[in-house]
Structure formats: structure tokens, C-alpha cells
């Protein structure tokens, strides 16, 4: 399982993903689900992927290396339509959707014949020079939605445990540090309630118009701040529910 969450903010973007993949509970591994495409001063895109690992790796390969697989630099790359070359974030989302469709045409039928679900979903955030920062969720069908000021957060994978706090507190105009705390708390709830979502986690921060990554950080079990945040949050929740008034109809 996977949990990825992203927030579109007035100040920029915050994206977070776990790293656990599992094929059954006895086959667990660590794979980053975060892929950053960056041309400083020109574009920064961050892609988070959930689903069947073979599918998501194929999609990432297609959208970063192009159909010829010639890589992200050199002459062939300059011509290939990849996340390094598309002119807008909308077209970047379309490109991911098209790649999902290609992988489905290549492997979907065989997977179904073997009772393996074709599962993939992608969060794609970023900014390309001269355009607004934006954030998309691309589905297994290749279609997609865009985050808005009304609903600035998107989630993929095991999203339910971490959603209540986002429903209450995620807003377009909160500061980037508050947004970081928010996605970490949302991840913490998911980590606690589902063992197939696991540490370490990858964090990506982007500040509007910077056109370079602000921060990428792998947060491990040893991260002092995250450990502290988890303890604080647990204590705060327990205190908060205890501090609620007693029901007046209980007598």
C-alpha cells in the first residue's frame, strides 16, 4: 500500500509520500514513490505514484525518458515529449495520463488474465516558468483532476486515515511550515493505522516562482523532529478529547 498527499498553497507546494511497497505481507521493500524533474530557473515538477510498482515505474520511465528511452539530456531528449519539455503543467498531466494508457495497452490484458489489478494513480505538482504552480491527480484511466483553492489537497493510496485532519485544516492560504506539519500529521495517522504504509517518508517543498526545489528531505525513524511531532500530536489528541466537556445528558 501507499500513502501520498499534496497541498497546493498560495505560497507554493508541499508533497509527501511513504516508501513502502508490498507484494503480500511477507514481501516488503522500500522504493521511493517521489520523482522530481527539475531544470533550475525553468521548471520543477514533482510526481508521486501509487499502485502496482511495475506499472508506476513504467509510467515514470515513459514521462521522464520518453518512448525511445533516450534519457533526459542530449539531442533525442530535446525532441522527445517528456516532463522536461512539455510547455504547461496541464500538458504534463496529459502526458502522464497518456503514459498510463500506454502501459495499460501493453500489460493490462495479461495482468487481468493473471488476476492482477491494473492499479495506478499519480499526483503531479509543480511550476513551469511563466505559468502558475499547479497540482493534478491522474487516474488509472488516464484522466485527471486539478486541485483548486476550494479543495487544495489531493491524496492517493491509503487516504482515509489521514483525511479528517486535512478536511478540517487544509486551506490554500496557510503558511508552508503549517502545511508541512499538516501533511506530516496526516501521514502519522496513516502510519499508525496501516502497517503497509511505512517509514521512511519523502518530503518535497516548493515555493511559488522559485523555479527550483526548496527542500527535499527523507524522513527516517531517526528524524528527531518527526519523532517529536508524533509524540506531541498523540499527546495533543488525547488531551483534546479528555478536555471535551462531559455530555450534559449523561447525568
Nearest to 132 by CA among 147, 110, 120: 147
Question: Using the rule CB under 8 A, is 24 a contact of a copy of itself?
Answer: no
Measured CA to CA, the distance from residue 71 to residue 73 in angstroms comes to 6
Cell numbers representing residue 41 in the block: 530557473
Q: Which residue of 132, 193, 195, 212 would you call a contact of a copy of itself, by CB under 8 A?
A: 193
The number of residues making up the chain comes to 251
Shortest Å, Cβ 17 to a copy of itself: 17
Question: Using the rule CB under 8 A, is 217 a contact of a copy of itself?
Answer: yes
Question: Using the rule CB under 8 A, is 23 a contact of a copy of itself?
Answer: no
Nearest to 8 by CA among 163, 186, 156, 176: 176
Cβ contacts of 68 within 8 Å, gap of 6 or more: 76, 80
Stretch that binds a copy of itself, among 38-46, 85-93, 105-113, 241-249 (CB under 8 A): 241-249
Q: Which residue of 143, 148, 220, 234 would you call a contact of a copy of itself, by CB under 8 A?
A: 234
Query: Residues 88 to 147: which contact a copy of itself by CB under 8 A?
Result: none
- In the complex with a copy of itself, which residue's Cβ is closer, 10 or 107? 10
- In the complex with a copy of itself, which residue's Cβ is closer, 18 or 94? 18
Total interface residues for a copy of itself by CB under 8 A: 41
Question: Using the rule CB under 8 A, is 165 a contact of a copy of itself?
Answer: yes
Question: Using the rule CB under 8 A, is 222 a contact of a copy of itself?
Answer: no
Question: Using the rule CB under 8 A, is 246 a contact of a copy of itself?
Answer: yes
* Alpha carbon of residue 15 to chain centroid: 5
Cell numbers representing residue 248 in the block: 450534559
Shortest Å, Cβ 37 to a copy of itself: 23
| Cβ neighbours, 10 Å, residue 75 | 8
CB 80 within 8 A of CB 95: no
By DSSP bridging, strand 3-8 and strand 12-18 are antiparallel
CB 240 within 8 A of CB 165: no
Per CB under 8 A, residues contacting a copy of itself are 160-161, 163-165, 167-169, 177-178, 180-182, 185, 189, 192-193, 205, 215, 217, 224-225, 228-229, 232-234, 236-238, 240-250
Amino acid at each position: 500500500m501507499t500513502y501520498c498527499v499534496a497541498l497546493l498553497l498560495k505560497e507554493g507546494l508541499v508533497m509527501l509520500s511513504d516508501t513502502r511497497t508490498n507484494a503480500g505481507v511477507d514481501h516488503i521493500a522500500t522504493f521511493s514513490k517521489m520523482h522530481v524533474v527539475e531544470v533550475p530557473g525553468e521548471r520543477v515538477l514533482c510526481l508521486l505514484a501509487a499502485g502496482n510498482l511495475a506499472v508506476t515505474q513504467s509510467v515514470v520511465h515513459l514521462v521522464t525518458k520518453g518512448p525511445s528511452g533516450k534519457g533526459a539530456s542530449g539531442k533525442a531528449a530535446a525532441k522527445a515529449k517528456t516532463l522536461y519539455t512539455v510547455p504547461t503543467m496541464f500538458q504534463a498531466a496529459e502526458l502522464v495520463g497518456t503514459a498510463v494508457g500506454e502501459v495499460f495497452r501493453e500489460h493490462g490484458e495479461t495482468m487481468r488474465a493473471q488476476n492482477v489489478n491494473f492499479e495506478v494513480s499519480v499526483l503531479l505538482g509543480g511550476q513551469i516558468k511563466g505559468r502558475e504552480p499547479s497540482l493534478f491527480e491522474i487516474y488509472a484511466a488516464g484522466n485527471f483532476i486539478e486541485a483548486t483553492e476550494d479543495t487544495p489537497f489531493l491524496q492517493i493510496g491509503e487516504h482515509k486515515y489521514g483525511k479528517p485532519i486535512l478536511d478540517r485544516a487544509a486551506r490554500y492560504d496557510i503558511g508552508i511550515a503549517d502545511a508541512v506539519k499538516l501533511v506530516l500529521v496526516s501521514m502519522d495517522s496513516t502510519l499508525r493505522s496501516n502497517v503497509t504504509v511505512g517509514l521512511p517518508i519523502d518530503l518535497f517543498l516548493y515555493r511559488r516562482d522559485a523555479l527550483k526545489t526548496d527542500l527535499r528531505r527523507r524522513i527516517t525513524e531517526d528524524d528527531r523532529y518527526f519523532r517529536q511531532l508524533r509524540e506531541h500530536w498523540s499527546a495533543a489528541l488525547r488531551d483534546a478529547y479528555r478536555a471535551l466537556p462531559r455530555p450534559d445528558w449523561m447525568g
